Chain A
Amino acid sequence: MELVCPAGSLPALRVAVDSGADAVYMGFKDDTNARHFAGLNFNDRKARQALDYAIDRKVKVFVAINTYAQPKGWKRWQEAVDRAYDLGVNALIVADMGVLEYACNKYPDLALHLSVQGSATNHEALKFYHKNFGIRRAVLPRVLSLAQVKLAAEKSPVDLEVFGFGSLCIMAEGRCYLSSYVTDESPNTCGACSPAKAVRWEETAEGRESRLNDVLIDRYREGENAGYPTLCKGRFKVDDHVYNALEEPTSLNTIRLIPELSAAGIKAIKLEGRQRSPAYVEQIVRVWREALDAYAIERDNFTPRSEWMDSLSKVSEGTQTTLGAYSRPWQ
């Protein structure tokens, strides 16, 4: 399986390549990608350097243009597609049907991957995207169980990529408006979940308080691990009981599922975290490279090593990991 790794900056891209990525994915410096944060991502000069570095080392480069084009900004999405094509990237990761239509008409030879934000959960949806826009690969939503992934893979007309590791949210990809509800901005429309300008942290006598647009979403007591300031991970009072009503801060880790994903015919594993620093990228790519290489040799005898799991838990949100929706044994 191909290892697809995040790059929010040139140093992150270099360590991903050097640590064993088969492909890296990146975004431009605007709201055409779902990690639109100040200071992050690539201008033309850095993108060129990134492409040269990766291509020299036979690593593929994908560009995420995976937000939904807004009526006033359509030109930006068009230009992002043009720029990526001119750079000579290996594929675009796209969610919006308008952007898919533009890219497949104008550049029929450009490989298109359906972004996780496209939220195609079954083979009929995949068939639709394949038939209408010629997509070659789709990233499956993380909300699917392993049984559902297998079912989609059986009849999928295109290669499938799944998430292997990274911060977990409530997984309503491409359809989540929780951030918008509080801040008026969401990943789908503006490229940022809980935009930093709406976030305030305060160390108080009662602990670290996290506020989103002045709404208190969590208070971490001394010694408690923290998470990203997203509404889905806040603690709320429900029937006089304060708890993580939607979900706890946690990261997905599917190293244990490598044999089953491979057997299901999954072609690529994606690691999340373009917003993170080069140190994180290096740590997770190194572990996943080792794990995939070990599986290639050990096959049926593959067992995750505890040092891999520890190393991934350490960099995780809330400092804990889960199999997420993949594991639903009752199904």
Chain B
Amino acid sequence: MHPFIQKVVEPLVSQSAQVCPFLVQKVALEKLLSQVFAIEIAEGDLDCLEGRWLKVYVKDMQIGWRITLSGNRVEVERVAGEADVTISGNAREFALLVSRQEDPDTLFFQRRLTIEGDTELGLEVKNILDALDHENLPFPLKQLLDSVSHVSRFIYAA
């Protein structure tokens, strides 16, 4: 794990988990995701997740979430149960993906990202994320993505 992740990001994530119970995180996260994907949900693009679970697992931090769509609302759970498709990688890879600095296929070819389970569901979600217009994101989220982009450019410059 990169020292920056180990010393700064990981304690921050685990402390925030202690300070802020998962239930609060869950409500905030679900509201945010439902807002971000409002158009996609309304147009039926995310129907593929209705009643099916996508799991995202950050290996070096040993944390993960699973996500589904339930009656036009996004639902998030801390990983416990099964998922239809699981995407896993280290924190670095997810930071590069979220900030659109690396392409998932590239990371997959280089064995830095794995996808197991229903490939079609994973691919569809990937394509929906790619098509998401970052210009239309709520301002705080746009700022957060910009920060992830700057920080990851800085710490992964090598």
Contacts and interface: CB of A to CB of B under 8 A. Distances in A.
Given A203-B114, A225-B109, A277 B123 contact: no
Interface string A189-209: 000000111011111000010
Interface in A164-214: 195-197, 199-203, 208
A256 to B, nearest CB: 22
Contacts of B108: 226
Contacts of A234: none
B123 A196 contact: yes
A38 B109 contact: no
Contacts of A11: 100, 130-134
Interface stretch (A87-95, A314-322, A323-331): A314-322
Contacts of A39: 45, 48, 123-128, 130-131
Contact of A38 (B43, B115, B124): B124
Interface string B95-139: 000001111111011110011100110111111101111100000
A319 B69 CA distance: 36
A38 to B, nearest CB: 4
Given A197-B119, A279-B100, A208 B130 contact: no
B126 A226 contact: no
Contacts of A12: 130
B106 A280 contact: yes
A201 B114 contact: yes
Interface string A9-45: 1111000000000000000000000000111100100
Given A196-B120, A224-B111, A279-B102, A37 B127 contact: yes
Contact of B101 (A8, A195, A196, A279): A279
Contact of B111 (A223, A249, A314): A223
Contacts of B100: 11, 277-279
Nearest to B43: A43
Contacts of A40: 127, 131
Given A11-B134, A226-B108, A280-B103, A38 B116 contact: no
Contact of A280 (B43, B105, B119, B125): B105
A197 B101 CA distance: 27
B123 A225 contact: no
Nearest to B105: A276
A227 interface: yes
Nearest to B88: A203
Interface in A114-133: none
A42 to B, nearest CB: 9
Contacts of A195: 120
- How many A residues touch the partner, as a band? 35 or more
A208 B101 CA distance: 25
A319 B116 CA distance: 21
A197 B130 contact: no
Given A39-B124, A208-B111, A227-B109, A199 B131 contact: no
Nearest to A282: B100
A203 B115 CA distance: 9
B48 A319 contact: no
Interface string A272-296: 0001111110010000000000000
Nearest to A196: B120
A188 to B, nearest CB: 20
A199 B119 contact: yes
Contacts of B130: 8-9, 11-12, 39, 277-278
A46 interface: yes
The 5 closest A-B pairs by CB, nearest first: A39-B127, A280-B103, A9-B131, A38-B124, A196-B120
Given A39-B48, A277-B126, 17 more contacts: A10-B133, A11-B133, A199-B119, A201-B115, A201-B116, A225-B110, A226-B109, A226-B111, A227-B109, A276-B103, A276-B105, A278-B100, A279-B101, A280-B103, A280-B105, A280-B106, A319-B109
